[in-house]
A and B are shown apart, each in its own frame.
Chain A
Amino acid sequence: MIARMIARAGLRWMDRRLRAAALTREALAKVFPDHWSFMLGEIALYSFVTLVLTGVFLSLFFDPSTAETIYGGSYGPLRGSSVSAAYASAIELSFDIRGGLLFRQVHHWSALIFLAAIAIHACRIFFTGAFRTPREINWLVGVTLLLTSLANGFIGYSLLDDLLSGSGLRIGYSTFLSIPIVGTWVAYLVFGGEFPGDRVIPRFFSLHILLLPALIAGLIGAHMAILVRQKHSQFPGPGRNDHNVVGSKMWPTYAFRSLGLLSAVLAVSFGLGALVQVNPVWVWGPFSPSAGTTPAQPDWFLGWVEGLLRLFPAVEFRVLGYLVPSPFLPGVALPVLMVVALYAWPWLDRLVTGDRERHQVLDRVRDRPGRTAAGVWAVSLVVLLTFAASDDLVARGLSVPVQDYVVALRVVVLVVPVICGAVAYVLARALRGHPGSRLTTMEPRQIAGVLGLRRPEARRPPAPPGPRAERPAVPSEDAPDVVDSGSRHGG
């Protein structure tokens, strides 16, 4: 009762100064589509919240300095050894500060979840064509968010000055060095001199806790402002068209659901942080420029670059008599190409389909077999490359020489994604003519029809690109009997 009175009084106070009642009402009535896949982006958002909360705690204890100190904390095996202040403070945070290890592990786990959520969210946007006009801007913002977050993830685990992340840093440095003409200057700009040097850790600390998080927060703000302005896209379904959004209102149902999601993300992050050890830097040991670790794998989100570096043949060449070293093609050229393709996708897609319409209703994955095939090809390629980042471990497990395993992987990485893409194409084509059927209930004759093995009696003409546009708009009053084809809470 009292809380309600205070809230009312507060609202009135604000309204007398900002005239916010109408605006707030409008905001609270925003309709969110009821499909689980629209919550992937929210998982990323809430992981970011977790990262900021735990990160602020950690930043107050971490000492970003490479100054040599003698470790004297409570972790026995290291006591008395000479390590960097950064490494010593990470160990102290883990063993001598109450809750420190928990927050470190929650921070690391949320970073892994953050990037996974962004990646899966991006796949959803890709496969449903949500990047099409008018949402190209948010696609560009989203890809930038993905890249900034990748960079901040890498920088974050490189701060601790342990032996494992030191290997990663060195590979990163060498990859910068490999850029023709400007490589040495770029590497010096990022690392403040020849690797390892004293400047890289303070520099990365600034980037990790100030510059990049501010950039990410700003981009998230832009991403959501554009989303609110353009309103959500939605899956096709009865009563849904290009002129409306069907779903739950922001207040109260969607807000409660979303608070539930926030709590669930925090519960999972804390559960993992409590139960599953991650990045035990005291096991890796302090960084030393002449020591290496084996096996050494990066965090999952950079596995694909590591896989490229491992699988790409030893190709070095000369341009104008200057050396272009072997990490350049797999470590710089190919990733840049992939990023450019990702940024350009809305326009590439348009080039292929010739579709310049404005879309508010999403494609089903089956509606665009070509795009689906391209996406499946790319995703399976990235997954296989990530898998290749552990080639030494797998080869040892299988007791085969790693050289032979690498040769086999090269073939797999080139061939399997093409097969996956082709299968996806056939399945999408087979489903497209039968809007009611699902992957699990599909009949063999649908596939046979696509492959031309049967006369296409069962094959209806493929759905035209924009069938929903022709459907008459349903006025909001007429649509109380909307049936949701997707998953709905409660029901």
Chain B
Amino acid sequence: MKRPERGIAAAFGVTVLGAVMAAASYVAGADRLLLGLGFALGFAGLAAGFVLWAATLLPQGPYVEEREPMVSPPGEREALEAEYDRPAGRLPRRMLALALGTFGLAGVFPVRSLIVHGPSPSVALATTAWRDGVRLVDQDGRPVRAADVTPGTMVTAFPEGHLDTGDSAAVVLRVDPAKLRLPAGRERWTVDGVVAFSKLCTHAGCPVGQYVAPAQQLVCPCHQSVFDVLRGAEPMSGPAARSLPQLPLRLDGDGVLVAAGDFPEPVGAGYWRPM
């Protein structure tokens, strides 16, 4: 009889130790490891104490509890049905239904405040900050010159004045112009082998952050879609199904790259839109 009692008491003694340890570590500023271990020790002591107590000193059953059927006797249900009646007043009842219906509908209107700030989705999603003549700048706002884009490197460019927009980032790469196989009509979108594509993956919108220079492929880190730069960033594998939209480029007088317009189609993840 004595032994379990001593064991349980010892377990709670551990909790006292844990408490002292937690308090001391807090005061001493050792608040990551030791504070946590102090708490853990305290709780572990409590756990051991309670479980030992339940297993040794407390009544062990098994006890049997009868279960009443989870169905009311038919008489009771019939009585309820008989007493439960519609309140008198046919016209007020109908009017109340109408009132609650319209009032509930009116309550839905404020939900719109949650949705729209600025242009509607179909407009906002279809356009970015790129326009004809907007200069390409890097993340620090410095203009990107064609000469800055060397073979094998990837430059992330933004429209000048719009460094923080989520949808305008573009990757700028230099490839051998002779090997480029862009879709028809885009012959004049490049500057001497320098091409630019939207940085947002057409699968779920992650930034396509890896450039495998030898194979001239862009790889998305999220679900490993691979895009073939030479073929207009056409998807080669992975879950993306559409090419990265291409940004038409030209040079301004100072050798700085500028956009010749916005992306021809919406960037990033797809959505319900006519195609």
Residue of B37, B43, B235, B271 ringed by the most chain A CB atoms within 10 A: B271
> Are A264's CB and B63's CB within 8 A?
no
Known: A267-B47, A310-B224, A482-B62. A322 touches B274 (CB 8 A): yes
Residues of A within 8 A of B49 (CB): 260
Does A183 sit at the interface, judged by CB under 8 A?
yes
Q: In the complex, what residue of chain B is closest to A242 when comparing beta carbons?
A: B67
Does A230 sit at the interface, judged by CB under 8 A?
yes
Residues of B within 8 A of A188 (CB): 115-116, 121
B-side residues, CB < 8 A to A, are 26, 29, 31-37, 39-51, 53-56, 58-67, 70, 111, 114-118, 121-122, 124-125, 139, 156, 158, 164-167, 169, 199, 203-210, 220-226, 235, 237-242, 268-275
Known: A290-B156, A292-B221, A323-B275. A178 touches B111 (CB 8 A): no
Query: With A and B bound together, what is the CA distance between A148 and B268 in angstroms?
Result: 29
Instruction: Type the 1/0 row for A250-271, where 1 means its CB is closer than 8 Å to any CB of B.
Output: 0011101101111110111011
> Are A271's CB and B40's CB within 8 A?
yes
> Are B204's CB and A170's CB within 8 A?
yes
Q: In the complex, what residue of chain A is closest to B113 when comparing beta carbons?
A: A192
Contact of B271 (CB < 8 Å), options: A177, A196, A246, A253:
A177
Query: With A and B bound together, what is the CA distance between A180 and B165 in angstroms?
Result: 26
Tell me the A178-199 residues at the B interface (CB within 8 Å).
Answer: 178-185, 187-189, 192-197, 199
Contact of A98 (CB < 8 Å), options: B26, B45, B61:
B26
Residues of B within 8 A of A324 (CB): 270, 272
Residues of A within 8 A of B122 (CB): 184
The minimal Cβ–Cβ distance linking A312 to chain B, given in whole angstroms, is 6
> Are A326's CB and B275's CB within 8 A?
no
> Are A31's CB and B270's CB within 8 A?
no
**A-B residue pairs, 8 tightest by C-beta:** A274-B36, A325-B270, A260-B50, A174-B269, A490-B55, A294-B221, A184-B121, A267-B43
Sample of 23 A–B contacts (CB below 8 Å)? A102-B32, A102-B35, A102-B39, A167-B221, A178-B271, A180-B272, A184-B125, A194-B166, A197-B166, A254-B54, A264-B51, A267-B41, A267-B43, A274-B39, A294-B210, A309-B203, A316-B241, A322-B272, A324-B272, A327-B269, A330-B239, A392-B224, A490-B56
Residue of B33, B61, B210 ringed by the most chain A CB atoms within 10 A: B61
Residues of A within 8 A of B31 (CB): 98-102
The minimal Cβ–Cβ distance linking B130 to chain A, given in whole angstroms, is 14
Known: A293-B221, A314-B239. A253 touches B58 (CB 8 A): yes
Instruction: Type the 1/0 row for A308-338, where 1 means its CB is closer than 8 Å to any CB of B.
Output: 0110111110100111111100110000000
> Are B62's CB and A292's CB within 8 A?
no
* 6 additional contacts (CB under 8 A) given A322-B275, A326-B203: A29-B65, A98-B31, A189-B114, A193-B118, A193-B124, A274-B39
> Are A327's CB and B204's CB within 8 A?
yes
> Are B62's CB and A248's CB within 8 A?
yes
> Are A312's CB and B239's CB within 8 A?
yes
Q: In the complex, what residue of chain B is closest to A490 when comparing beta carbons?
A: B55
Query: With A and B bound together, what is the CA distance between A345 and B209 in angstroms?
Result: 43
Residues of B within 8 A of A247 (CB): 61-63
Q: In the complex, what residue of chain A is closest to B165 when comparing beta carbons?
A: A289
Residue of A34, A173, A174, A321 ringed by the most chain B CB atoms within 10 A: A174
Residue of B121, B169, B268, B273 ringed by the most chain A CB atoms within 10 A: B121
Does A346 sit at the interface, judged by CB under 8 A?
no
Q: In the complex, what residue of chain B is closest to A181 when comparing beta carbons?
A: B272
Does A402 sit at the interface, judged by CB under 8 A?
yes
> Are B36's CB and A275's CB within 8 A?
yes
Query: With A and B bound together, what is the CA distance between A193 and B50 in angstroms?
Result: 52
Contact of A244 (CB < 8 Å), options: B56, B67, B210, B271:
B67
Residues of B within 8 A of A318 (CB): 275
Does A484 sit at the interface, judged by CB under 8 A?
yes
> Are A275's CB and B275's CB within 8 A?
no
Contact of A183 (CB < 8 Å), options: B208, B225, B272:
B272
> Are B47's CB and A264's CB within 8 A?
yes
> Are A489's CB and B55's CB within 8 A?
yes
Tell me the A62-90 residues at the B interface (CB within 8 Å).
Answer: none
Does A365 sit at the interface, judged by CB under 8 A?
no
